[in-house]
Amino acid sequence: MFYHDKELQYKVRVDRPNPVFARMLQQAIGGIEGEIRVCLQYLFQAWGNRGPAKYRDMLLETGTEEMAHIEMLATAVALNLEGAPTSLKEEMAKDKMVGAILGGMDPRHFLSSGLAAMAVDANGVPFNGSWVVGSGNTAADMYANVMAESTGRVLATRLWEMTDDPGMKDMLSFLIARDSMHQNQWLAVLEELGGVQGVHPIPNSFPQSQEVQQFSYAFVSTSVNDLGTPNGRWTQGPSIDGKGEFHVMKAEPLGGEPKLAPPVPEGHAQKEQMTLTDSVVGNIKDTLGL
C-alpha cells in the first residue's frame, strides 16, 4: 500500500518561468536517465525480491521516494510553463522563426497536457518500460541501479548548468544529493554481499567448472596486429574476482562455417532458394557416408 502527503519532499520554486527549460526537465522525468525509470526499477525489484526481507524493504522505500521526485519535477515543469504562449499568432507577431517553434517549448505541453508535465522525454518520446531492470539477482540489480543513478546524476548536473534560475538550481541540487546517496546505497549492498570477490562472477551460484575455462579470464583481441591490443589492468595479473589470471588471447575462428538447411516450403521463399547448394549436398553426403 502507498500513502501520499500533499506536501512536496523538497521545495520547488521557479523564479523566472521558462518553457524551454520545462522541455529539458522532461528528460529527468521520462527519459532513460529519468525518475520514472528508477522509480519503477526499484519497485519491480522489490515486488519480485526473494531473499532477505531487508533488501525488499529498502527497495520499496527508495522506489517510493522516487515517486516524490517525479512529483517535484512535474511541478517544476508546470511552474515553468506558467505564462507560456498559448497563441501562435502572438509569437509570430514578434518573430516568425521563434513563433514557428514556440520558442523551443514542446507544443504538446499545451496541446496534450494543458501546460503540465507528461510521461515523455525531452523529445516527446514516451517512457519505455524496457529500460526497467529487475533480474531477480540482487547483485546484478544493484549494478544496474548504480548505473541508473550515475546517469541520472550526470543528467541532473547538466540541467543544473543549463539554468540560471535560483529556484531550479536549488531543486536540482537536492536531486543531485539524493543521487549521491543512492549510488552509495547500492554499492553498500554489494559490499554487504561480499564485495567484488564475493559477488563475482554473477551469478556466483553457477559452478565455474561448467564454463569453458580457458576463456573465463581471457581478453580476446580482435585487432589485426599486436600493436592494436589495448594493454591494461584487464590484460594481465590476477582477475578482479580473485579467481583467475587475466591474459590476452588472439581471436580466431573456432566454430567452423555454419551450414543451414534449405527453406521449408511453408515459409514460401523464392524458388531459387529451394535448390540445395553444393555445400549442403556435400554436407548431406558426408553425413550419409557417401
Whole-number Å distance between alpha carbons of 63 and 57: 10
**Confidence (pLDDT) at 225:** 79
pLDDT tens figures, 125-155: 999 999 999 999 999 999 999 999 999 999 9
Q: Calculate the CA dihedral of residues 213, 214, 218, 220 and round it to 10 degrees.
A: -120
Q: Are 186 and 145 in contact (CB under 8 A)?
A: yes
What is the pTM assigned to this prediction? 0.86
**Confidence (pLDDT) at 286:** 57
Superfamily designation of domain 19-197: Ferritin, core subunit, four-helix bundle (1.20.1260.10)
pLDDT tens figures, 27-81: 999 999 999 999 999 999 999 999 999 999 999 999 999 999 999 999 999 999 9
End-to-end distance of the chain based on CA atoms, in angstroms? 71
| Nearest C-alpha neighbor of 144 from the set 101, 190, 200 | 190
**Confidence (pLDDT) at 223:** 87
Helix (H, G, I), strand (E, B) or coil at 207: coil
198, pLDDT greater than 50: yes
111, pLDDT greater than 90: no
288, pLDDT greater than 60: no
Domain with CATH 1.20.1260.10 in the chain: 19-197
Which residues neighbour 91 within 8 Å (Cβ) at sequence distance 6 or greater?
A: 85, 98, 99, 102, 103
The alpha-carbon radius of gyration of the chain (Å, integer) is: 27
**Confidence (pLDDT) at 100:** 42
Cβ neighbours of 16 (radius 10 Å): 13
- Percent share of the chain, pLDDT over 90: 77
**Confidence (pLDDT) at 282:** 53
pLDDT grade for 256, boundaries at 50, 70 and 90? very high
92, pLDDT greater than 60: no
Q: Are 156 and 172 in contact (CB under 8 A)?
A: yes
Q: Are 15 and 77 in contact (CB under 8 A)?
A: no
* Length of the chain counted residue by residue: 290
Helix (H) or strand (E) holding 245: strand 245-250
